[in-house]
Amino acid sequence: MTELELIIDLHKNSVRQGPGSENDTLKALDFLNLQTSQNLKVADIGSGSGGQTILLAKNLNGHITAIDLFPEFLDELNEKSQKLGLTEKIDTLEKSMDNLSFKSEEFDLIWSEGAIYNIGFENGIKKWKDFLKVGGYLAVSEITWITQSRPNEIEEFWKSEYPEVDTAANKIKQLENNDYMLVGYFYLSQDSWIENYYKPMQARFEPFLKRHGNSELARKVVEDNQAEIDLYQKFKDYYSYGFYVARKNE
């Protein structure tokens, strides 16, 4: 297996492939006031195995297209929606978020948790805007500084990993510069990282290593993920995922 295949394998059979929680998804949804709307058309971009997709399907009246680059995650989502009787409400689409071919103004809501960084926040909000109806909503979570200053070590790390890392004020400015109006913002709690994402991942390390005969590459994947966890533990007071909910301007 390649390193990418191993990374996918480590993240399979988990509720989420990134920090987040049911509470966070529902909190973001609450900003939208869409609970009584009918026949909504929703895209969930970078859905992974669909932790948030299932919640959206349960809480909204309409149809969701869940998009991800990797069929392994979409297969899991299809299995879950079958078990829950949600197949009428959820379709999956294997495609890159960079290369979507939806119609202009097709969606009432575009959702994306912990995934837009794959193509960059500003690029993503620009690219996806055309698919949103005027007055439609965008809900995205994105790595965000939660203090005005921070130790050099973490600043340097994130700047080299993801140069777009920034404060919420600057992310909101980007939204406004691109014809979106913010309707709500919060950032994810430490529990959404540790209890909901990192601890379940750590519990999968041992079976994962066994499955792959403790190979050098499998050990590297575990070490890399453990290093990410250690970094978060050390600097968790300085960054999180900010959840941005915005409306496309008239």
Residues forming the site for ligand SAM (CB under 6 A): 16-18, 20, 46-48, 51-52, 67-70, 73, 96-98, 113-115, 118
Q: Whose Cβ is closer to ligand SAM: residue 1's or residue 179's?
A: 1
Q: Where are the alpha helices (DSSP H) in the chain?
A: 3-11, 22-30, 51-59, 71-83, 121-129, 152-161, 168-177, 190-193, 199-211, 216-235
Look at residue 66 and give its three-state secondary structure. strand
In the complex, the smallest distance separating the C-beta of residue 210 from ligand SAM, rounded to whole angstroms, is: 24
- Joined tokens for residue 57: 């399907």
3-state DSSP: the chain helix, strand, coil percent, rounded to 5? 45, 25, 30
Minimal distance, residue 22 CB to ligand SAM, in Å: 11
Q: Which of 76, 51, 59 is nearest to 141 (CA)?
A: 51
Q: Which is closer to ligand SAM, CB of 21 or CB of 218? A: 21
Task: Name the minimum Å distance from CB 226 to ligand SAM.
Answer: 17
What is d(CA 194, CA 48) in angstroms, rounded to the nearest whole number?
19
Half-sphere exposure of 234 (CA within 13 A, CB side): 13
Q: Decide: helix, strand or coil at residue 201.
A: helix
**Residue with Cβ nearer ligand SAM (71 or 135):** 71
Q: Which is nearer to ligand SAM, 52 or 92 (CB)?
A: 52
Q: Which is nearer to ligand SAM, 16 or 129 (CB)?
A: 16
Q: What are phi and psi of 83, to 5 degrees?
A: -60, -35
Reading the block at residue 4, the tokens are 């990418």
Cβ 249 to ligand SAM shortest distance, Å? 26
The distance of closest approach from Cβ of residue 82 to ligand SAM in the complex, given in angstroms and rounded to an integer, is 19
Q: Which is nearer to ligand SAM, 29 or 115 (CB)?
A: 115
Distance in Å, CB of 83 to ligand SAM, minimum: 18
**d(Cα 40, Cα 114) in Å, to the nearest integer?**
22
